[in-house]
Structure 1
C-alpha cells in the first residue's frame, strides 16, 4: 500500500540536555513559532547529561500554546504503565489535548538495570510492551465503569480505578525495528516511529509489509497505523553524499518517495540547530505538503485513514456511515472512539447512540439533519445535555450535538442585546456578560445548555424580577427539518417564533438566540439550611414569605431526607437582584424564622459566581424519575401532600422554585409557555426503590399544570398539562407548517395537525 492517506505532519527531535536546560525549551518554542506540528525529546533516564523527559515535556507544555509534544520514545522499563497513562492524560488535559505517546521497549539494559529496572530478554521486552499498551488504554478508558484488571507476565493490574481520560484520543507510537516489534505495531499500536539512523529507506518498505500483515491478521486496517520517521544527520547547504544533505529542494525530492511510496506521513527532524529547524519548518514542510497534494490529486489514495476494526464492529445497523458528509466526519464520534464515553449519555439519561455529530455551523446542522433523515435510526438534539426531559441521547441512533456553537456576543450594549450560541453553557454566558454589567436569568446551574432552557422556559435565580428566559428572547436562528436556515422573530416567521418560546425542541434546531439581558452587576446571595422536620408548616411559611417579598428577591428551596430517624433538611437559596444590601437583608431575614437554623451565609457577589460552569461529565442517572407541578400557592393541602412524600421511602428530594412576579407579567398567549398565574414550580425527585409509591402520592396534588423541563418521562398525556388546549392546538398547526414529517418527535411529541 504505497499511500495510507494520512495528512502530513512535521516535527522536531530535540536533545534534552541538562547542561543547558533553557536551550531545549527555547528550541521547542522556536519549533512552534516556525509552524511545526510536533516537538519530541528522547528519553534516557539513566543519562545524566539529559533532563528527565517527562518533566521537560510538562515544562514545555506550559511554555507553548499550539504544538503537540511527545517522548521519542518513552523508556517503558523505567516508567510504570499505569502511572505513565495517568501522567499522559493529566498533561493532555492541562495542555488542551497536545500530548502524544511514543513508547519503546528498552534497549540499554545495563543502564536500565543500574537505575533499578528489571532486565528483560528481547522477547520479554516485546511482551511487556504489549501488556503495557493494554494497561495504558485501560486506564484511559474512563467511560468503562468496571475496574481495570490486566493479568500479564510483566505488568499486573488488579482492580485499578480508571481515568482520567485524556483530552483527545492520544495515539501510541512504537519505536520498532525487529520483526516481533513490528508485528506488535500492526496488532496494537497507532503508529510506527523508527529513526533513519537505524534503518535505510529500503528498510521502511520491509517494515511496512510486516506491520500491514500483522494488522490484517489482527482484524485491523493497515491504514489505522500512522508511519512516522525521525530524520537523523541532515543538513542544508551544498548537496553532499548523505540522503538529506543539500538545499530544501533536494530534501523535498528525497522525502517525496518516502511519503508516497512508503506511506510516511510524519517527518521529525533531529537537530538542535535553530536555523536548521526553521528552514525545515518554513521551506521543506510546505513544499513537501504541496508536492504530496499534487501527486494525490492525480492519483489519490484508495481512501483516507480507516476507522479501527474494533470501532467498525460496534456500528449501528440502522446508520449508513459511509454516506456521512465529509464536513461532519472529522468531529463525529462513534462507539469505540475514545471520546465516546464523554458524549454518549446526558445528565439523566444513559445512552448508547450509534453516532454523535458535532456540527459547528448552521449549514453543518442542516447537513446533519439531512443525513439523519436518510437513516433508520432515532434522532436526538443536544445543546448542553443537562436537561431532565430533553432526550438528548438515545440507543443506536444519531445525536446532533451543537456544543461547538457556543459563542456569546454583546450586539448592542445600549439595548442590552446579546447573541448567544445555543451550544453555550449558561455559566459561560454569565462570565462573558459580567464585565458589561449584564445578566440573563437562566436556571440555577451553570452547566445547563442554552438551547434547551431558552426554548422550554427558563426558571432562574432572577426570575421574579426578570421573568422567564424565553420572555426576553427577541430572535432566533433555526435550522428546519427541510434544511432551511431561517430567522424567527416578531416580523419573520412569527408563528414559529411564538412556538420556539416554550416548545422549541419540537420545531427545529435553534442554533443561536438574541436575548435582552438585564442590568445586573453584583447580587446578594444567601444560603440557609433549616431543620424542616415540621415539613408542611415550613413549606407553607416559605410560600407566604416568597409571595410577600419584593420582586427583587427570588428564592429556590430544596427539601430532602437525611436518613432514618434524622430530621428533614431544607436548603434555601435566595438571590436579591441588585447590590442594595440593606434592602436584601430586610427581605432575607424573615426566612431565618422558618425553623431551627443549621447553617447560614450571605454575600455580595457577581451573578456569574453563583452560576459558574462546572464542565461536569455526564454519565446518566438511570432509575431516577422526576415529576413537575405548577401551583399558584403553597397552601395547606399542597404542603400536606409534599410533606407526606417523606413519610415513606422513594423520595430523594422535593424542590420549590419561585416563578411569580415578572414571570406572570407576560400574557399567556404571548409564548407557547402559557402558565402565567402560578407562583411556584414544584419538582419531585424519586428513586428507583420505592419511587412508584412516591409517585402515586404525588398524584394527590391534583396537578393541572406542569413545566416540561422537569418531567423526566415524556408521556403524551402530559402535553395537556404542559400546554392549555388553545396553546396545544396552535402548536399542532405550527408543527404542521414547519415539521410536517414530525422529524423532531423524540422529545415530548407534538404531532402535526394542520386542521387543529
Structure 2
C-alpha cells in the first residue's frame, strides 16, 4: 500500500481554446460552483488556437474566489525562470493564495525552437528544470538578504532582486514520466503530475518508488510530495479511483473535460462519494505531510498524531516551510511546538480541547502585533486565528473575525464613509485590541474600540461557544471588554462603526532637547484642543550627533480644514520644528494594511506604561530622564474626551478619567525597572497591551475591579486555561 495520507483534491483540466475565448472562463467558474478545488489549463504558447495560459489564469483568478489555479503544465523553455517566479508570486498574491505552479521541461522542440526558444536534449531539459526550480524558489524567498545568484549552464542570474513573496507556499508540481525527471521530483519538487492515459501498467508503482528513493537520499520524507493524476471521464469511477488513492498514493485527481454536465457530476457526485469511500478505507485519520526535519524538531509533551483531522491541513510544526512565518510576533521571537490555524468557531473549540491535553504553554494569537509577545511561546501550542478574517459590513454594523487586522477593517469601511478607532498601525490584530481596550487615532472624538463592541461570539475554556452582549451573558461581555484574554477565545465581533469623513492627518518633527518643556506644552495643548483632535507623541533619544527628537502625529476627525488648522497650529510652538506636513486623507490611508511576516523584532525589548490625568512637571522630568538611557523610546497617547464619557464600571477597562497613556521601551532590565518603579507612583493605572512587567501588582494597576474579575474567572475559567497573558487567578484559587 502506498497511501501517503494527503487530503483529496479534485480539479478540472480545461482546454484554453480561443475560438470562443470566454468558454474556458465559464467552465472554470462552473468548476468552482461545482465545489471543485482546482482548475488547470495546458500551456502550449506555440499553439495559435489557444489563449495564452498566463493571461487566461490571471483573468480566471479575477472571475473566481475560491478555486485554486495552475498550469498543466507551464512550458519552461518559453518562460524565463526569474520572471516566471514573479508572475507566479504576483498571481498568488492577487488571488489570495490560490495559485500552484505545474511545471514542465518542454517536449515539442520544433515548435519551441520556432518560437525562439532553445532546443534541448532530454538530459539538458531535466538539468534546466532543476536550475529553474532553484532560481524560482530563491526569488520567492524575500526574507533572505542579498540577491539571487545562479551560475547554471542554462540559467545565469547575477544578483537578481528577491520577491515578491507569494501569499502561500506555492507547490511546484512536475509533469514527468522518465526516471531522471522522477528523481528530480524526489529531490526538489512538491508534486508529481502525470496523465493516466500515458501510463503503462506498473508505471505508478515504479514512479513512486523512484521518487521515494530520491526523496530519502535528499533527506526528505516521501510524504512531502503530493501525487497528482490527470484522468479522463472514462476513469472517473469509484472502482478506478479508490485503488489509485489507497494503493498508489494519488490524492489529487484532475479531470480532462470541457463538458459542463461532466464537470458538475465530477464535483457534486463523484468527488463526495470518493471522499467518503476513501475515508472508510483508510485505517487511520488523514495525516498532514511532515518531512524528516519537522519530525526531528517535534517537541516533547505534544501528541502530534492526535491533532484533530479538521486542523491537520493547516497545522504547522517546527521544520515545516510555513514555520518561520508563524513562530514569532511583531515584537517577540517564539519557538512553539505546534501552531494550529482553525478556520471556524467549531475548529477553535477543537483546537482548544486538543491544546488543553498537551503539556506546555498555550498562546492565542489574532494578529501577532502585541507588544507583550504573549501570543507566541517556546515549546507549547499556539492557536493562530489568522484564518478567521472575515469582514461583513451591513449599514453601520460590521461583523469582523479576530484574525484580520485593523488596516483591512479600515479599508473595508472606507467605501461606506465609516471608520473605527483602532490603534495607530494597520498591522494590529482585531482580536487582541478589541478585547483589551483600543487606544486609537480617533479616541478623543469617538472613544475606545471596546466602546463600540456590540456583541461577541466566544469559545470558553470548556469548549462551549456562547454569545455575549448587553442582554446575553452580560457579565462575560463586561469582562471581555478589557480583560478578554483571560476569559475565552473570541471568534467573531459585532461592532458599531461611525460615520467619519476625510480627516486631517498632521505629522510634525521637533528638536526635543528641552523634553520636559516640550511634554508640558504638548500635554496642555492637547487637553485644551477640541475633541476632534487626537494626538500621539513619540520621543527618541539623541544619537549620532542628532538631538533627541519628538514626532507628533495628530488626527483631526473632520474634513473641516479651517478648523483643523486652527487646532493644529498651536502645536507648532511646543519646540523647534524640524519638519511638518498635514494632509486631508481618508482615515483608512493612515492605517493601511500591513501583512508582512513577523520575525520577532530585535532582542527582547522591555515595555511599560501607565495613565496620567495630566502631564505634570514630576512626570515629565522622570520621563525625560529615562530618555537619556533607561528608556530611550517613549510614546504618549492622548485618551480623554469621549473615552472618559463612559462609566468606569461599564467595562473591565476602567481608566475613564485620565487624559494620557505614557509608555516607554528599554533594553537594560535593571535600569528600566528602576526607572519605572520611580515613575509609577506618579501615574494612575496601566494598559496591559503595553506592558511586559508581569509582577502580580500590575494586575491591580490594570484592573480596579480585579475582585469582580476573579469571581468571573472562577465561573468561566476555573482551571485557569488562559494563563499566559497576564493571568487573573480565580477567586477560588
TM range (shorter): 0.7 to 0.9
Summarize the Cα distance change of 1:402–1:63 in structure 2 as closer, same or farther, 3 Å threshold.
closer
Say which of 356, 360, 369 aligns to 1:386: 369
Map 1:313-712 to 2 at 5 A.
313-409=296-392, 419-434=399-414, 438-561=418-541, 563-623=543-603, 624-648=605-629, 652-686=632-666, 688=667, 693=671, 696-697=674-675, 699-703=677-681, 704-712=683-691
Contact 2:421 2:448 in 1 (8 A): yes
* Structure 1 counterpart of 2:732: 754
Give a deviation string over 1:453-478, Cα, whole Å, max 9, x none: 22222212222233333344454333
Summarize the Cα distance change of 1:500–1:691 in structure 2 as closer, same or farther, 3 Å threshold.
same
SS in 1 for 2:378: coil
SS in 1 for 2:554: strand
Task: Say yes or no: does 1:206 pair with 2:206.
Answer: yes
Say which of 276, 279, 282 aligns to 1:300: 282
The structure having more radius of gyration, on CA atoms, is 1
Q: Which moved more, 1:669-678 or 1:298-307?
A: 298-307
Give a deviation string over 1:34-53, Cα, whole Å, max 9, x none: 54654444445677887765
Quote how far apart the aligned CAs of 1:61 are.
3.8
* Structure 2 counterpart of 1:237: none
Give a deviation string over 1:665-722, Cα, whole Å, max 9, x none: 4444443333333221112133x4x786566445543444453345342421451563
SS in 1 for 2:705: helix
Map 1:106-145 to 2 at 5 A.
106-107=106-107, 122-123=122-123, 125-142=125-142
SS in 2 for 1:716: coil
Q: Which moved more, 1:590-599 or 1:210-219?
A: 210-219
SS in 1 for 2:609: strand
Provide the C-alpha distance between the structure 2 equivalents of 1:207 and 1:469, rounded to a whole number of angstroms. Answer: 57
Give a deviation string over 1:246-288, Cα, whole Å, max 9, x none: xx699777667656654444444557xxxx4434423456554
Provide the alpha-carbon RMSD of the alignment. 3.8
Q: Which runs of 5+ in 1 are unaligned?
A: 235-243
Quote how far apart the aligned CAs of 1:620 are.
1.7
Quote how far apart the aligned CAs of 1:357 are.
1.8
Say which of 694, 698, 702 aligns to 1:715: 694
Task: Say yes or no: does 1:33 pair with 2:16.
Answer: no
SS in 1 for 2:433: helix
Quote how far apart the aligned CAs of 1:154 are.
6.5
Quote how far apart the aligned CAs of 1:742 are.
1.8
Q: Which runs of 5+ in 2 are unaligned?
A: none
Give a deviation string over 1:503-540, Cα, whole Å, max 9, x none: 22122222334445445444343333333333222221
Map 1:236-255 to 2 at 5 A.
none
Say which of 686, 707, 715 aligns to 1:729: 707
Contact 1:332 1:356 in 2 (8 A): yes
Give a deviation string over 1:449-504, Cα, whole Å, max 9, x none: 22212222221222223333334445433322122233344555444333323222
* Structure 2 counterpart of 1:184: 184
Summarize the Cα distance change of 1:106–1:440 in structure 2 as closer, same or farther, 3 Å threshold.
closer
SS in 2 for 1:404: coil
Say which of 726, 734, 740 aligns to 2:718: 740
Provide the C-alpha distance between the structure 2 equivalents of 1:294 and 1:656, rounded to a whole number of angstroms. Answer: 58
Provide the C-alpha distance between the structure 2 equivalents of 1:38 and 1:514, rounded to a whole number of angstroms. Answer: 33
**TM-score normalised by length of structure 1:** 0.84
How many residues were matched structurally? 726
Map 1:255-274 to 2 at 5 A.
262-268=248-254
Provide the C-alpha distance between the structure 2 equivalents of 1:721 and 1:149, rounded to a whole number of angstroms. Answer: 56
Provide the C-alpha distance between the structure 2 equivalents of 1:564 and 1:186, rounded to a whole number of angstroms. Answer: 53
Summarize the Cα distance change of 1:279–1:470 in structure 2 as closer, same or farther, 3 Å threshold.
closer
Give a deviation string over 1:325-363, Cα, whole Å, max 9, x none: 222223322233333333222111122222222223333
Contact 1:742 1:752 in 2 (8 A): yes
Quote how far apart the aligned CAs of 1:373 are.
0.8
Contact 2:16 2:51 in 1 (8 A): no
Provide the C-alpha distance between the structure 1 equivalents of 2:528 and 2:731, rounded to a whole number of angstroms. Answer: 43
* Structure 1 counterpart of 2:173: 173
